[in-house]
Structure 1
Amino acid sequence: MNWKMTAAGAMVAILGFAGSAAAEGALNIYNWGDYTSPEMIKKFEDKYKVKVTVTDYDSNDTALAKIRAGGHGFDIVVPSANYVPIWIKEGLLLEARPDQMSNFKNVDERWVNVPWDPGRHYTVPWQWGLSGIGVNKKVYGGDVNTSAIFLDPPKELIGKINVEPEMSDVLFATIKYLGGDWCTTDKEILKKARDTLVAAKPKWLAMDYSVTEKLPSGDYAGVYYWNGAILRSRLKNPDIVFGYPKEGYPLFMDSVAILKDAKNVENAKLFMNFIMEPENAALISSFAKYANGIKGSDQFLPADMKDAPELVIPEQFKKAGEFLATCAPEVNELYTRIWTDVNK
C-alpha cells in the first residue's frame, strides 16, 4: 500500500478499509520491558486477526545495536526522542507517513511538530514522562527532590538503591547535579561526572528493571527511575514517595516507528493508526502509568492516574525538566566512555 498517494479520495477509502479489514499474519514489536499493555495487544489481535509478538529491550543503545546488526525480524521499535534522529539519519526507519493516517487527528498539537520528527513522518507518540526519585519514606524521611539520593546517598539508603540502566538519563541528571549542561564537552564537568558515578555505584544495590516489584516489596528503598514505574510502585505500597530532582531531570517521549526492513509493514501501519485512537492510547497508559500524547484519552484513564504526584509536575520543579537533545556523535562517544567506566 502506498501511503503517499496524492488522491485524497483514494486515501480516505484506503484508511477506511484499514479500519475495518481483518488483516492476516503477524506483527513483531521490539519495545522496552514491562511497557506494553497486554490488554491493548489482545484488542489489536482480535480486531485484525494478527498475531503479535513483543520482545523486550533494556535501553536505547541495546535496541539500536540490535537493529544495526540486522537479521532481527522486528517490524516496530519504540525509541526515545533523543535517539529518533539517529535512527532516521542511519536509514533504519520507514517513512510511514503516520501524519496521513486517519487517527492522526487525535495527536495533541504539542506532539506534532517535535524536534526529533517534525510533522511526524516517521513516528507516533507512545508514552512520555521523566526520570525522578522514588523513596520508601519509612527508610528515609529527608529531602527526595534531589539527585543526591543516588549520587551521594544518605546513609539510610546506601546499599538499597536501584538506578535505571539508561545512559542518557543517568548522565543528564549527573551533569545537571554538577552544574553542567547536557551535550557538554567540558572536560572538567565530564571528569567530575565520571568520578561521581564511579564513586556512587558501590553504594547502589542494582541497575535493573525490577522496580515495580522490588521497590514496593522493600528490596529497594530508593530508586532513580521513570515516573510511571514509581507510580505503579506507590499503588502497591503507599509508603513510596516521589521526588523531582531540583538540579535537573530529563523528560522523555518514546515513539512508535516502523523499521525500514520490516516484513509486516501493512500490519505495522494498522498498529500505528490503532494506538492513536484515544481509548487504545488509554490502555497503553493505564498499564504502564505514563502520559501518552493523544487527545481524548484522559476520559478513559483510571482514577489513580488523575492528579498523581508522579505525573503532575509541581510548579517549582517545572523549569528543572528538560527534553534530552540529540548530542553530536563525538559527544556521545565521550558519554559512552564514561558509561563504560561506570559499568565495569
Structure 2
Amino acid sequence: MTMRILLTSALLALPAAAQAEGVLNLYIWSDSISPELIAKFESETGIKVNVDGFNSNEDLLTKLQAGASGYDLVTPSQHFLKIMADEGLLEDIDAHDLAAYQAVDEKWRGQWWDETNEYSIPLAFGTAGFTVNRDQYKGPVDSWAAFFEPGEDLKGKIASLSYPDEVVGAAQLYLGVPFCSEDSAEMKRVYDLLAAQKPFVAAYTSDNIENRIGGGEVAMHFWWDGNSMKTRANDGAPIEYAMPKEGLVGWLDSFVVPKGAANVENAKKFIDFMSTVENATAQYNFYGHSAPVKIDTASAKYTPENAPELFPTVKVEFSRACSPAAQDLVTKVWTQLLQ
C-alpha cells in the first residue's frame, strides 16, 4: 500500500529523549491512527507517543534500510513487510503470543508475508482503484478501460500516483499480466498502456488527492477505497469509487517493530491496546478502512449500505513481494514512463 492522505507530520524530528523509558515513537501512514486513541493510550499508560508520518512504502523501506531510524513501531503494507523481514529489518516480537493476536481474523493469520506470525499484527486493509468525479465524467466505471484508455474528452483530466506500486498492479490486472511477472514482453505491454495514457494524465502525484478529485480539478484519480468513501460521505463530493470487472489491487497494513528499536515493550503495549474490540472499533470509525481484527459491528460507523467502497463486489488481488528481476522491470517501466 503506498500514501493514503498527505498530512503534515506530527513531528518534524524525533525528540532527543527518544531512547528514554516511557516513550513510543511511531512512523505510520499519515493520518492513519486516531489522535483520540493515541491520547487515550498516553493517559492509560503514561507513555509519551511521538508520531511521524510517511506517504509511501518506499519511503518507509528506505528509512529502515538506512538504519538507526529511532522508530519503535511502523506500519508497512504486506509486500513491503515481507521485504523488510527478509532483509532482517524487523524485530521478532513473537506476535502470535500477544493478546492482539487473538483478535486477528483467522483469514489474516499465517499469510505469506508473515507465515509464522512472528513479526506483525494487522492494522487495516483495503483496496486501490480509481475514483471519478460525476460532475466531470458521466460514463461507466465497470472496467479499468475508463482509466487506462480514456476518451479524448478526458485529456488532461486524469491523475495518477507518484509511485508505481499499485498503479502498475492495476495495469497488470487490466491486461491480464500476472503480478511479479519476469516476462519483459508482458511488461512492455504494461509500459505501452501507461505511455498511451500519459497524454491524458494531468499529474502523477500522491498529494492533495481529495481536493483534486473532490473539487473537480480532474475527472478521475487513482485512489484508495476508504479515502474516496470519506471524501464522498463527509465532504459531500460528487465522486464514485469504481468497481472494475478486472479487479482491484489489495493492501493490508500491519504493525511491526524495526530492528534495534529502543522501546519494544511499549510497542507491544500499543499493539495490544489498538487491537481490543473497543479501540479497534474506534479506529475503524476514524480511519474508514476495513478492520482485520474483531470490532463491535453494532458500533461500526461504516456498513455496506453507507460505505460500499469498503465492501468490494469484484475480485481483489493483493500486491506481492516480487523477485529482484520482476521488481527491476516495474522500476524500468515507471522510470521510462516519467522521463
> TM-score, normalised on structure 1?
0.86
Going from structure 1 to structure 2, the CA distance change for 1:50 and 1:343 (only over 3 Å counts) comes to: farther
Matched, 1:234 2:228: no
Q: Is the 8 A contact 1:79 1:255 kept in 2?
A: yes
By how many angstroms is 1:33 displaced? Answer: 2.0
Going from structure 1 to structure 2, the CA distance change for 1:109 and 1:304 (only over 3 Å counts) comes to: closer
* Equivalent in the alignment of 2:4: none
Q: Is the 8 A contact 1:146 1:244 kept in 2?
A: yes
Q: Is the 8 A contact 1:289 1:305 kept in 2?
A: no
Residue identity opposite 1:124 in structure 2: I
1:127 corresponds, among 120, 124, 129, to 124
Q: Which moved more, 1:80-89 or 1:212-221?
A: 212-221
By how many angstroms is 1:61 displaced? Answer: 1.3
Q: Is the 8 A contact 2:76 2:255 kept in 1?
A: yes
Going from structure 1 to structure 2, the CA distance change for 1:54 and 1:269 (only over 3 Å counts) comes to: same
* Equivalent in the alignment of 1:18: none
* Equivalent in the alignment of 2:221: 223
By how many angstroms is 1:92 displaced? Answer: 0.5
Matches within 5 A, 1:22-101: 25-101=22-98
Q: Deviations over 1:38-74 (max 9, x none)?
A: 1221121221122222222121111101110123211
The whole-number CA distance in structure 2 between the counterparts of 1:303 and 1:332 is: 36
Q: Which moved more, 1:86-95 or 1:66-75?
A: 66-75
The whole-number CA distance in structure 2 between the counterparts of 1:149 and 1:45 is: 47
By how many angstroms is 1:245 displaced? Answer: 2.3
Going from structure 1 to structure 2, the CA distance change for 1:190 and 1:103 (only over 3 Å counts) comes to: closer
* Structure 2: segments with no counterpart, 5+ residues: 1-19
The whole-number CA distance in structure 2 between the counterparts of 1:34 and 1:279 is: 20
The whole-number CA distance in structure 1 between the counterparts of 2:165 and 2:224 is: 13
The whole-number CA distance in structure 1 between the counterparts of 2:305 and 2:27 is: 29
Query: Residue 118 of structure 1: SS of its match in structure 2?
Result: coil
Going from structure 1 to structure 2, the CA distance change for 1:55 and 1:215 (only over 3 Å counts) comes to: same
By how many angstroms is 1:299 displaced? Answer: 3.1
* Equivalent in the alignment of 2:285: 286
By how many angstroms is 1:132 displaced? Answer: 1.5
Matches within 5 A, 1:1-344: 25-206=22-203, 207-235=205-233, 236-303=235-302, 308-314=307-313, 317-318=314-315, 321-344=316-339
By how many angstroms is 1:219 displaced? Answer: 2.8
By how many angstroms is 1:306 displaced? Answer: 5.4
The whole-number CA distance in structure 2 between the counterparts of 1:304 and 1:158 is: 35
Q: Is the 8 A contact 1:60 1:166 kept in 2?
A: no
Query: Residue 268 of structure 2: SS of its match in structure 1?
Result: helix
Query: Residue 291 of structure 1: SS of its match in structure 2?
Result: coil
The whole-number CA distance in structure 2 between the counterparts of 1:208 and 1:64 is: 17
The whole-number CA distance in structure 1 between the counterparts of 2:260 and 2:337 is: 34
By how many angstroms is 1:177 displaced? Answer: 1.6
* Corresponding residue pairs, total: 318
Going from structure 1 to structure 2, the CA distance change for 1:283 and 1:163 (only over 3 Å counts) comes to: farther
By how many angstroms is 1:190 displaced? Answer: 0.8
Q: Is the 8 A contact 1:24 1:48 kept in 2?
A: no
Residue identity opposite 1:339 in structure 2: W
Residue identity opposite 1:233 in structure 2: T
Going from structure 1 to structure 2, the CA distance change for 1:156 and 1:29 (only over 3 Å counts) comes to: farther
Q: Is the 8 A contact 1:98 1:272 kept in 2?
A: no
Q: Is the 8 A contact 1:133 1:149 kept in 2?
A: no
* Structure 1: segments with no counterpart, 5+ residues: 1-22
Percent sequence identity is 35
By how many angstroms is 1:197 displaced? Answer: 1.7
The whole-number CA distance in structure 2 between the counterparts of 1:198 and 1:298 is: 44
By how many angstroms is 1:268 displaced? Answer: 0.7
Residue identity opposite 1:47 in structure 2: E
Q: Tell me how large the CA RMSD over aligned residues is.
A: 2.0
Going from structure 1 to structure 2, the CA distance change for 1:141 and 1:173 (only over 3 Å counts) comes to: same
Q: Which moved more, 1:129-138 or 1:213-222?
A: 213-222
The whole-number CA distance in structure 1 between the counterparts of 2:147 and 2:249 is: 15
Q: Is the 8 A contact 2:136 2:218 kept in 1?
A: no
